[in-house]
Structure 1
């Protein structure tokens, strides 16, 4: 028969120990013998004790909670990143609270405020807010913060890759294959005045930097979300050798479907797990998604708070879609 749940005070009396000993046993802290710890855990199990995480967080001023604010989960990049974050946080004994901003500034602000109010031990933030003062507002919170995807400000550590260098390498690789015309697919650039799209901005800078080294090659930037697909459909009929460079794999998937029976070259960017399985020979930039999620958790939980950002190495995959 299931026993009634008990409080931590009652658990301490049943075990004949102090509240401090109960805390050490339940939270796997040092200063308790294995025998006493086992006794407390078994008694807690027998009596259906459930630790009040909220009360514990109030007493400590923080919680075993890591907040994550993502744009959305429609893109496999974000779902894979979140999986890495959650599994890493769990390995350190932390629970992950996931919130989605849907690319909306006000929603993002509310998400952050909610997580701060929950005494989150740290917040991993994929931000879309372009306001330069936003970073200073975030720094007023005592909660540890790490940015992912888009930089926020120099004082908030960022975990990612050098997007400019990665796209520069990608473009140079495509140019070495003697294409007559390059199409850079990045409709998200149309939102640059309204959103923080720093990662995409840096990638575009890398593309322009590489193209400037080979001015004889023509290129077109597809940044209009209303017209880019119709332009892509016209490429095979334009004559000459053409290639598309995608600023993220949400566009790569569209191009792979569109040009599956043509000679148009395709260069991806991100290379999440599922796309690797579907198109194992895709030419692309491999973004170390899992490693970034792991490092982000370790950084936000580090007892030594530092402003240093960490840039992991990207990998250029020489597939068969560029030839």
Structure 2
């Protein structure tokens, strides 16, 4: 659920809406506001007969409780705030699905906001979340978050769990995939099918996720005694399809052309395939390609893109579990980093039956 507030001004005069309040129900039924409130909240001091009478009438006149007023009285809103850097990313969609599903199961509503990878916007959204009275925040950092002082200050007032894009500078529970191990497996797969000149398309060095994936790439090369060729290491701040194509063109112009490309995003991997096909280069015989995320687009591009499967749904659900645990136990300060293992989904962009795996 994405919270969007529109302000519209018109010259015409609209009729005033009749808002159903506890006071109206109390007046209509001849009971006190306190009795109405307790009936709707199943208070044990109220008889079952009165509860049924109140609830039946409330449903009849379509009474909707004011969550913010209720939260003000109980100091709990049952609302979780979620801040993400980019809502358009396919992996983000699976994350949000897991968050929303698990939150609803546990009786929480979700407010989702997008920081657009802007650190200042991220700070503003955190402040807005607190103003809305959310019980806790799930935060995935912008790519270039450097100053975490505001985050640390916010944590003095509200529970916080970080997921996907995290920071070692923030002492909170953090849930991520094991990026280094995932990349290691992807590159090892390429080595197993006979590739030795493996290029990588990664994000700029400011990205924590990219650095962990890059370390997995280096680890696989070193363990297999494959020399590191700096010319085969490509970086960009935006790993889009267009950037995947551009960086692949750069790789094809290298003195030593790669025989495999490992892209740390599916978008860049798809761009690589498109550029290779444009140049009539056989995939995977001449150059194999592996992506990262296992998005739905992996099976749209031809040949289908091999990719690391990120369990976004599970990460989202776990994030909610740990946040609710902190909300319900505010004095608990046990923080941990949970690294979830991944699987490599092998498709035709990196393997054909005629190739023999070692």
TM-score calculated relative to the size of structure 1: 0.84
Mapped contact 1:5–1:50 kept (Cα < 8 A): no
1:75 partnered with 2:89: yes
Q: What is the aligned residue count?
A: 313
Is 1:251 the counterpart of 2:265 in the alignment? no
Q: Is the 8 A contact 1:4 1:47 kept in 2?
A: no
Find the partner of 1:233 among 249, 270, 288: 249
Q: Which residue of 1 aligns with 2:224?
A: 214
Q: Secondary structure at the match of 2:204?
A: helix
Query: 1:143 is matched with which residue?
Result: 158
Aligned to 1:313: 341
Higher mean displacement: 296-305 or 157-166: 296-305
Say if 2:91 is the partner of 1:63.
no
Instruction: Indicate conservation of the 8 Å contact 2:152/2:170, yes or no.
Output: no
| 2:134 paired with 1:96 | no
Evaluate the alpha carbon distance shift between residue 217 and residue 154 of structure 1 in structure 2; reply closer, same or farther with a 3 A threshold: same
TM-score by length of 2: 0.77
After superposition, the CA RMSD in angstroms is: 3.0
Choose 1 or 2 for highest CA Rg. 2
Alpha-carbon displacement from aligned partner over 1:104-158 (angstroms, at most 9, x marks no partner): 1110000001001111011111112222545422322x21111111223452111
Deviation at 1:26, TM superposition (A): 4.4
Give the distance between the partners of 2:148 and 2:322, measured in 1 at CA: 23
Task: Give 1:1-323 correspondences, 5 Å limit.
Answer: 4-12=18-26, 14=28, 22-23=36-37, 26=40, 36-128=50-142, 129-140=145-156, 142-152=157-167, 153=169, 155-186=171-202, 188-190=203-205, 192=206, 197-217=207-227, 219=229, 220-224=232-236, 229-233=245-249, 235=251, 242-260=259-277, 262-263=282-283, 264-272=287-295, 274-275=296-297, 277-278=299-300, 281-302=304-325, 303-304=328-329, 305=332, 306-323=334-351
Partners of 1:198 and 1:11 lie apart in 2 by: 55
**Contiguous gaps of at least 5 residues in structure 2:** 1-16, 352-358
Moved more, 85-94 or 163-172: 85-94
Instruction: Please state how far the C-alpha of 1:28 moved relative to its aligned partner.
Output: 7.2
CA-CA distance at 1:47 after TM superposition: 1.9
Question: Structure 1 segments of 4 or more deviating over 6 A?
Answer: 28-34, 237-241
